[in-house]
């Protein structure tokens, strides 16, 4: 093998080589910066996408939790309203029952007061005595009356209505009373005793209805 001849490079050749190396280094730096920029951009985009995905997940969880919380709260409010409505209805029923009882008691008292006022009339008492006589004759039939006793005031008012009957005065009888005798049978009645029976019956019915309404 024949050795090649060797010679030192000339200054121009050194500058050319040096310049070439500088150009390569510049290109490498530019490529490096571009790669870093791309990596940063890709990382930023991936981070943004991940952040958006996480944000959507957080928002969806918050929406579901808020919806559930709102539904629970709404259900509680509905139950409270329903309970309040039931309580109000119960109170209304109690008040209504009390009003009905009070109204009924008032009506009973009013009727009794009206009747008590009416039976104080001489005409009403005499008319009642006449009705007592008629009913007594029906009960005693066919036994004919031996005597019919009336208060003198009543006999003066209704004597014509009972014409033909054995009417007699009895001042011991209060106005509105009559006593009919037929043999051994005696029928006696009067407006005061009749009113007292009616009064007791009405008060008894009213009391039982009131107690019955209060127990419900």
> Does the pLDDT value for residue 96 go beyond 90?
no
CA distance 137 to 157: 19
Range of the domain at 206: 122-215
Confirm whether 70 is domain-assigned: yes
**Domain edge (last residue) among 95, 118, 141:** 118
Q: What's the rounded Cα separation, in Å, for the pair 9 and 144?
A: 179
Domain-located, residue 211: yes
Q: Which residues contact 137 (CB under 8 A, 6 or more apart)?
A: 145, 180
- Is residue 69's pLDDT more than 90? no
Decide: pTM greater than 0.85: no
CATH number assigned to the domain comprising residue 130: 3.30.2320.30
What is the pLDDT at residue 1? 47
β partners of residue 179: 149, 188
Q: What is the number of structural domains in the chain?
A: 2
> What DSSP state is assigned to residue 174?
P
Phi, psi of 186 (to 5 degrees): -135, 130
How many Å apart are CA 166 and CA 186, to the nearest integer?
A: 14
114: closest CA among 208, 189, 198? Answer: 198
- Considering the domain architecture, whether residues 114 and 140 belong to the same structural domain is answered as no
Span 156-176, pLDDT tens digits:
999 899 999 999 999 999 999
In a domain? residue 190 = yes
């Amino acid at each position: 093998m024949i050795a090649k001849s060797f010679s030192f490079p000339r200054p121009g050749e050194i500058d050319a080589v040096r310049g070439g190396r500088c150009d390569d280094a510049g290109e490498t730096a530019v490529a490096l910066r571009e790669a870093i920029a791309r990596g940063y951009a890709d990382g930023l985009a991936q981070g943004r996408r991940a952040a958006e995905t996480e944000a959507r997940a957080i928002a969806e969880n918050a929406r579901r939790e808020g919806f559930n919380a709102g539904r629970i709260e709404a259900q509680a409010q509905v139950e409270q309203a329903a309970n309040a409505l039931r309580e109000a209805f119960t109170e209304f029923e109690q008040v209504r029952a009390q009003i009905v009882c009070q109204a009924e008691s008032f009506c009973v008292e009013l009727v009794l007061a009206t009747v008590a006022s009416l039976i104080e009339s001489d005409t009403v008492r005499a008319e009642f005595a006449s009705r007592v006589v008629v009913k007594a004759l029906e009960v005693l039939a066919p036994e004919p009356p031996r005597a019919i006793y009336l208060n003198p005031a009543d006999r003066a008012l209704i004597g014509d209505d009972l014409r033909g009957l054995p009417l007699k005065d009895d001042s011991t009888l209060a106005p509105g009373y009559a006593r009919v005798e037929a043999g051994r049978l005696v029928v006696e009645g009067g407006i005061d005793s009749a009113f007292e029976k009616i009064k007791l019956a009405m008060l008894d019915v009213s009391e039982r209805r009131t107690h019955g309404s209060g127990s419900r």
